[in-house]
Structure 1
Protein backbone atom coordinates (compact mmCIF):
# COMPACT_ATOMS: atom_id res chain seq x y z
CA UNK A 1 0.00 0.00 0.00
CA UNK A 2 1.34 3.45 -0.98
CA UNK A 3 1.40 5.98 1.87
CA UNK A 4 2.89 8.87 -0.11
CA UNK A 5 1.02 12.17 0.28
CA UNK A 6 -1.38 12.89 -2.58
CA UNK A 7 -0.42 15.70 -4.96
CA UNK A 8 -2.14 17.90 -7.53
CA UNK A 9 -0.03 19.93 -9.98
CA UNK A 10 -1.58 22.58 -12.19
CA UNK A 11 0.24 24.42 -14.98
CA UNK A 12 -0.78 28.02 -15.52
CA UNK A 13 0.66 30.47 -18.05
CA UNK A 14 3.00 32.04 -15.46
CA UNK A 15 3.67 29.23 -12.97
CA UNK A 16 3.14 25.69 -11.79
CA UNK A 17 1.03 25.25 -8.65
CA UNK A 18 1.54 22.15 -6.53
CA UNK A 19 -0.76 21.13 -3.67
CA UNK A 20 0.19 18.26 -1.37
CA UNK A 21 -1.87 16.74 1.44
CA UNK A 22 0.40 16.45 4.49
CA UNK A 23 -1.82 16.46 7.58
CA UNK A 24 -0.22 15.98 10.98
CA UNK A 25 3.02 17.75 10.10
CA UNK A 26 4.26 21.12 11.34
CA UNK A 27 6.00 23.58 9.01
CA UNK A 28 9.30 22.72 10.69
CA UNK A 29 8.79 19.05 9.71
CA UNK A 30 8.74 19.88 5.98
CA UNK A 31 11.67 20.61 3.66
CA UNK A 32 11.52 21.70 0.00
CA UNK A 33 14.54 21.66 -2.32
CA UNK A 34 15.03 22.45 -5.99
CA UNK A 35 18.09 20.85 -7.60
CA UNK A 36 18.48 21.40 -11.34
CA UNK A 37 15.01 20.59 -12.73
CA UNK A 38 13.85 18.42 -9.79
CA UNK A 39 11.68 19.64 -6.92
CA UNK A 40 11.88 17.42 -3.82
CA UNK A 41 9.58 17.65 -0.81
CA UNK A 42 10.42 15.78 2.38
CA UNK A 43 8.51 15.46 5.61
CA UNK A 44 9.46 13.78 8.85
CA UNK A 45 7.57 13.87 12.12
CA UNK A 46 8.46 12.01 15.29
CA UNK A 47 6.11 12.06 18.23
CA UNK A 48 7.54 13.26 21.49
CA UNK A 49 8.33 10.54 24.00
CA UNK A 50 5.89 10.12 26.85
CA UNK A 51 7.06 9.72 30.40
CA UNK A 52 8.20 6.30 31.58
CA UNK A 53 4.93 5.69 33.39
CA UNK A 54 2.99 5.57 30.13
CA UNK A 55 1.94 1.99 29.42
CA UNK A 56 1.05 1.54 25.78
CA UNK A 57 -1.26 -1.26 24.74
CA UNK A 58 -0.67 -0.32 21.11
CA UNK A 59 1.35 2.45 19.47
CA UNK A 60 1.35 2.67 15.68
CA UNK A 61 1.90 6.30 14.77
CA UNK A 62 5.04 7.42 16.54
CA UNK A 63 6.88 8.36 13.31
CA UNK A 64 5.78 9.51 9.88
CA UNK A 65 8.06 10.29 6.94
CA UNK A 66 7.80 10.79 3.19
CA UNK A 67 9.79 12.03 0.22
CA UNK A 68 8.36 13.00 -3.16
CA UNK A 69 10.32 14.31 -6.16
CA UNK A 70 8.97 15.94 -9.30
CA UNK A 71 10.86 16.74 -12.50
CA UNK A 72 9.62 20.07 -13.78
CA UNK A 73 8.85 19.91 -17.51
CA UNK A 74 10.18 23.41 -18.24
CA UNK A 75 12.64 25.96 -16.89
CA UNK A 76 11.55 27.54 -13.62
CA UNK A 77 12.75 30.40 -11.40
CA UNK A 78 14.10 28.37 -8.48
CA UNK A 79 14.90 31.48 -6.44
CA UNK A 80 11.28 32.68 -6.64
CA UNK A 81 9.53 29.50 -5.44
CA UNK A 82 7.06 30.17 -2.61
CA UNK A 83 5.34 27.76 -0.25
CA UNK A 84 2.51 27.95 2.28
CA UNK A 85 1.28 25.27 4.67
CA UNK A 86 -2.28 25.71 5.94
CA UNK A 87 -4.65 23.15 7.45
CA UNK A 88 -2.55 20.16 6.41
CA UNK A 89 -2.13 21.24 2.78
CA UNK A 90 1.25 22.37 1.42
CA UNK A 91 0.88 24.79 -1.50
CA UNK A 92 3.96 25.49 -3.62
CA UNK A 93 4.05 28.11 -6.38
CA UNK A 94 6.83 27.59 -8.92
CA UNK A 95 7.19 30.53 -11.35
CA UNK A 96 8.21 29.73 -14.91
CA UNK A 97 11.37 31.26 -16.35
CA UNK A 98 10.77 33.77 -19.14
CA UNK A 99 11.86 31.32 -21.84
CA UNK A 100 9.30 28.78 -20.61
CA UNK A 101 6.30 31.12 -20.70
CA UNK A 102 4.04 30.78 -23.73
CA UNK A 103 4.64 33.45 -26.32
CA UNK A 104 1.94 34.81 -28.58
CA UNK A 105 2.90 35.91 -32.05
CA UNK A 106 0.46 37.46 -34.45
CA UNK A 107 0.86 36.25 -38.02
CA UNK A 108 -0.08 38.68 -40.75
CA UNK A 109 -2.22 37.35 -43.55
CA UNK A 110 -1.16 38.23 -47.11
Structure 2
Protein backbone atom coordinates (compact mmCIF):
# COMPACT_ATOMS: atom_id res chain seq x y z
CA UNK A 1 0.00 0.00 0.00
CA UNK A 2 1.41 3.32 -1.06
CA UNK A 3 1.10 6.46 1.05
CA UNK A 4 -0.29 9.29 -1.00
CA UNK A 5 0.41 12.92 -0.15
CA UNK A 6 -2.68 14.96 0.72
CA UNK A 7 -3.80 17.26 -2.06
CA UNK A 8 -3.68 20.92 -1.16
CA UNK A 9 -5.81 22.02 -4.12
CA UNK A 10 -9.11 20.84 -5.54
CA UNK A 11 -9.91 20.12 -9.18
CA UNK A 12 -10.29 23.81 -10.02
CA UNK A 13 -6.86 24.60 -8.61
CA UNK A 14 -8.23 26.43 -5.55
CA UNK A 15 -6.63 25.90 -2.14
CA UNK A 16 -8.99 23.58 -0.24
CA UNK A 17 -8.37 25.47 3.03
CA UNK A 18 -9.49 28.88 1.68
CA UNK A 19 -13.06 28.75 3.06
CA UNK A 20 -11.76 27.76 6.51
CA UNK A 21 -9.12 30.48 6.52
CA UNK A 22 -11.78 33.06 5.65
CA UNK A 23 -14.05 31.77 8.41
CA UNK A 24 -11.17 32.01 10.91
CA UNK A 25 -10.52 35.64 9.84
CA UNK A 26 -14.22 36.46 10.38
CA UNK A 27 -14.24 34.89 13.86
CA UNK A 28 -11.04 36.74 14.79
CA UNK A 29 -12.56 40.02 13.60
CA UNK A 30 -15.74 39.34 15.64
CA UNK A 31 -13.75 39.00 18.85
CA UNK A 32 -11.56 42.00 18.04
CA UNK A 33 -14.64 44.19 17.61
CA UNK A 34 -16.52 42.73 20.60
CA UNK A 35 -17.03 45.25 23.44
CA UNK A 36 -14.32 45.10 26.06
CA UNK A 37 -16.65 46.23 28.83
CA UNK A 38 -19.96 44.60 29.60
CA UNK A 39 -22.79 46.92 30.62
CA UNK A 40 -22.83 47.53 34.35
CA UNK A 41 -25.66 48.10 36.75
CA UNK A 42 -24.91 51.82 36.90
CA UNK A 43 -26.42 53.20 33.74
CA UNK A 44 -25.60 56.61 32.41
CA UNK A 45 -27.75 58.76 30.14
CA UNK A 46 -29.07 56.95 27.05
CA UNK A 47 -28.29 53.55 28.59
CA UNK A 48 -31.53 52.77 30.41
CA UNK A 49 -32.99 49.55 29.08
CA UNK A 50 -36.73 48.89 29.11
CA UNK A 51 -37.29 45.16 28.63
CA UNK A 52 -40.49 44.50 26.70
CA UNK A 53 -42.74 41.53 26.05
CA UNK A 54 -45.01 41.50 22.99
CA UNK A 55 -47.99 39.18 22.67
CA UNK A 56 -50.57 38.59 19.95
CA UNK A 57 -54.08 37.65 20.97
CA UNK A 58 -57.24 37.01 18.95
CA UNK A 59 -58.37 40.59 19.59
CA UNK A 60 -55.07 42.41 19.14
CA UNK A 61 -51.56 42.89 20.45
CA UNK A 62 -50.21 43.61 23.92
CA UNK A 63 -46.91 45.18 24.87
CA UNK A 64 -45.62 45.13 28.43
CA UNK A 65 -42.61 47.31 29.20
CA UNK A 66 -40.73 47.19 32.50
CA UNK A 67 -39.89 50.74 33.55
CA UNK A 68 -39.34 50.60 37.32
CA UNK A 69 -38.68 53.81 39.19
CA UNK A 70 -40.52 55.94 36.65
CA UNK A 71 -43.87 57.62 36.91
CA UNK A 72 -46.40 57.73 34.10
CA UNK A 73 -45.43 61.39 33.54
CA UNK A 74 -41.86 60.26 32.68
CA UNK A 75 -43.11 58.08 29.80
CA UNK A 76 -44.32 59.13 26.35
CA UNK A 77 -46.09 56.90 23.80
CA UNK A 78 -46.64 58.04 20.18
CA UNK A 79 -47.70 56.54 16.87
CA UNK A 80 -46.59 58.11 13.60
CA UNK A 81 -46.84 56.44 10.18
CA UNK A 82 -47.59 53.05 11.80
CA UNK A 83 -44.46 53.29 14.00
CA UNK A 84 -45.16 53.01 17.73
CA UNK A 85 -42.53 54.76 19.86
CA UNK A 86 -42.19 54.40 23.61
CA UNK A 87 -39.71 56.67 25.31
CA UNK A 88 -38.98 57.82 28.80
CA UNK A 89 -36.57 59.58 31.07
CA UNK A 90 -35.61 58.46 34.53
CA UNK A 91 -34.24 60.86 37.10
CA UNK A 92 -33.54 59.49 40.54
CA UNK A 93 -32.01 61.45 43.38
CA UNK A 94 -31.55 60.19 46.94
CA UNK A 95 -30.28 62.13 49.93
CA UNK A 96 -29.41 60.66 53.31
CA UNK A 97 -27.89 62.22 56.40
CA UNK A 98 -26.81 59.93 59.21
CA UNK A 99 -24.55 60.71 62.14
CA UNK A 100 -22.80 63.59 60.43
CA UNK A 101 -22.41 61.79 57.09
CA UNK A 102 -24.20 63.06 54.04
CA UNK A 103 -24.95 60.76 51.10
CA UNK A 104 -26.25 62.10 47.80
CA UNK A 105 -26.81 59.74 44.86
CA UNK A 106 -28.18 60.64 41.44
CA UNK A 107 -28.95 58.56 38.38
CA UNK A 108 -30.33 59.75 35.09
CA UNK A 109 -31.15 57.96 31.89
CA UNK A 110 -33.38 57.83 28.84
CA UNK A 111 -34.70 55.04 26.69
CA UNK A 112 -36.53 54.85 23.38
CA UNK A 113 -37.97 51.80 21.63
CA UNK A 114 -39.84 51.79 18.31
CA UNK A 115 -41.93 49.10 16.63
CA UNK A 116 -43.66 49.02 13.26
CA UNK A 117 -47.28 48.08 13.84
CA UNK A 118 -48.75 45.21 11.81
CA UNK A 119 -51.18 46.14 9.04
CA UNK A 120 -54.15 44.79 10.99
CA UNK A 121 -53.44 46.91 14.11
CA UNK A 122 -55.70 49.87 14.85
CA UNK A 123 -53.44 52.72 16.07
CA UNK A 124 -56.44 54.98 16.78
CA UNK A 125 -57.66 52.71 19.61
CA UNK A 126 -54.47 51.97 21.54
CA UNK A 127 -54.93 51.93 25.31
CA UNK A 128 -52.06 52.47 27.75
CA UNK A 129 -51.97 51.71 31.46
CA UNK A 130 -49.09 52.18 33.91
CA UNK A 131 -49.04 50.32 37.21
CA UNK A 132 -46.27 49.18 39.58
CA UNK A 133 -43.41 49.91 37.17
CA UNK A 134 -45.03 48.17 34.18
CA UNK A 135 -46.44 49.99 31.15
CA UNK A 136 -49.07 47.91 29.35
CA UNK A 137 -50.28 48.80 25.87
CA UNK A 138 -53.28 47.11 24.28
CA UNK A 139 -53.44 47.51 20.50
CA UNK A 140 -56.68 46.15 19.06
CA UNK A 141 -56.95 44.57 15.63
CA UNK A 142 -59.24 46.19 13.08
CA UNK A 143 -62.57 44.36 12.82
CA UNK A 144 -62.31 43.96 9.06
CA UNK A 145 -58.91 42.29 9.40
CA UNK A 146 -60.20 39.41 11.49
CA UNK A 147 -60.23 36.32 9.38
CA UNK A 148 -63.55 34.82 8.39
CA UNK A 149 -64.05 31.17 7.79
CA UNK A 150 -65.64 30.62 4.40
CA UNK A 151 -66.64 27.19 3.20
CA UNK A 152 -65.68 26.54 -0.39
CA UNK A 153 -67.94 24.21 -2.32
CA UNK A 154 -66.13 21.54 -4.25
CA UNK A 155 -67.54 20.88 -7.72
TM-score range, shorter chain: 0.7 to 0.9
CA distance in 1, matches of 2:61, 2:75: 20
Equivalent in the alignment of 1:92:
137
> How far does the alpha carbon of each residue in 1:22-65 deviate from its partner, in whole angstroms, 9 at most, with x for none?
10100000000011111000011223696xxx9547x3x42121
Aligned to 1:69, what secondary structure does the other structure show? strand
Structural RMSD (CA) = 2.4
* Runs ≥4 residues deviating over 4 A: 54-57
TM-score, structure 2 as length reference = 0.58
In structure 2, list runs of 5 or more residues that go unmatched. Answer: 1-38, 40-46, 96-100
RCO comparison, higher one (Cα < 8 Å, 6+): 1
TM-score, structure 1 as length reference = 0.79
In structure 1, list runs of 5 or more residues that go unmatched. Answer: none
Whichever structure has more helix as a proportion of its residues is 2
Structure whose alpha-carbon radius of gyration is higher: 2
Query: Could you tell which deviates more after superposition, 71-80 or 82-91?
Result: 71-80
Aligned to 1:62, what secondary structure does the other structure show? strand
Say how many residue pairs are matched.
Answer: 105
